[in-house]
Chains A and B, each alone.
Chain A
Amino acid sequence: MKTMEATLERSEPASTGELLESLHAEAWGWALACCGRDRAAAEDALQSAYARVLAGEARFDGRSSFKTWLYAVIRTTAAGERRRAWLSARGLARLTRLRVEPAPVRGPEAETAESFRAKALAEALSRLSRRQREVLHLVFYQGLTIVEAAGVLDLSIGSARVHYERGKARLRRILVPEVHR
């Protein structure tokens, strides 16, 4: 990965493609998280982020790892797309649909115990604040440290830690309600 990052700094398009490909699946998961698990919005955000990287609009300066930099690009791109969607009538409709009925994780035919747990988690995450959801996703789903998550989200470490703790406590209240009764 270090070699790939070094070639990226030399702005070789093929290497950028290789780097993006190596992170594609995880980046997709992050795009989904940034777009409230809306598949279509996540695909748009991921493609737009790749387009920004390929066009040189977003430049990797080596101050962080390529992964955290790419995640920050995806997050800002998704936020931009959300703002644009908010301004368009179609986007408003999509947003309304998102709040009322979150997209299912899988079709009912693939409903297993594992997918049920995943679905329950997705629904619980949708009830957290955006920041809490993002920090928890980056730590538990992407395996980043809180410090790295703070870098992706452009937050102070203390603030990221507070979002992490509060988000986890709230998830616990939602997922394990009997403890709090």
Chain B
Amino acid sequence: MNERDFDRDLAARFKALRSSDLSEAPPFADSLRAARLSSSSGGRAASHRAAVWIALAGAVAAGVAVVGLLLPKADRPRPVEDSIAKAAEISSWSAPTDPFLDLASLETSPGAGSPGASRSTR
């Protein structure tokens, strides 16, 4: 079978397939009715989806608002009474090493020299 014969054969096969398909095509009225139905239900589905998204966005916004209201409360300055009590506590506090700072009871050894005397005069 040469190229031209094959083209003719192919065209005949496609023609057979086409006539077979076209005889089984669904009625146009049915397809159109289904299309109109799916078009309107598609619109309804789209509006339903939009409503879900709006509700979701509303919930997220409400959550953000609640967190926004609660967070500054945690950082808010404490009342004055709290600050006074804290200051009193700090001023009455003493460190365990505070007694070492008292030098009045210490005795100085005689060979240690006296403070302020220069090395050359010794």
Contacts and interface: CB of A to CB of B under 8 A. Distances in A.
Interface stretch (A1-9, A24-32, A59-67): A24-32
Contact of A121 (B17, B31, B42): B17
A114 B6 contact: no
Given A43-B26, A47-B38, A114 B16 contact: yes
A128 interface: no
Mostly, the B contact residues are: helix
B60 interface: no
A51 B31 CA distance: 9
B42 A51 contact: yes
Given A28-B25, A43-B26, A54 B35 contact: yes
Contacts of A28: 21-22, 25-26
A54 B1 CA distance: 47
A125 to B, nearest CB: 8
Q: How large is the interface on B (under 10, 10 to 19, 20 to 34, 35 or more residues)?
A: 20 to 34
B26 A140 contact: no
B104 to A, nearest CB: 89
A55 B11 CA distance: 37
A115 interface: yes
Nearest to A17: B32
Contact of A21 (B12, B14, B28): B28
A122 B26 contact: no
A136 B43 CA distance: 36
A35 to B, nearest CB: 12
A110 B38 CA distance: 34
A155 B42 CA distance: 30
Interface string A31-50: 01000000100010011111
Contact of A51 (B10, B17, B35): B35
Nearest to A53: B35
Contacts of B20: 105-106, 114-115, 118
B48 interface: no
Interface string B23-58: 011101001101110110011000000000000000
Interface of A: 17, 20-21, 24-26, 28-29, 32, 39, 43, 46-51, 54-55, 105-106, 114-115, 117-118, 120-122, 137, 140-141, 168, 171-172, 175-176, 179
Interface of B: 1, 6, 9-14, 16-22, 24-26, 28, 31-32, 34-36, 38-39, 42-43
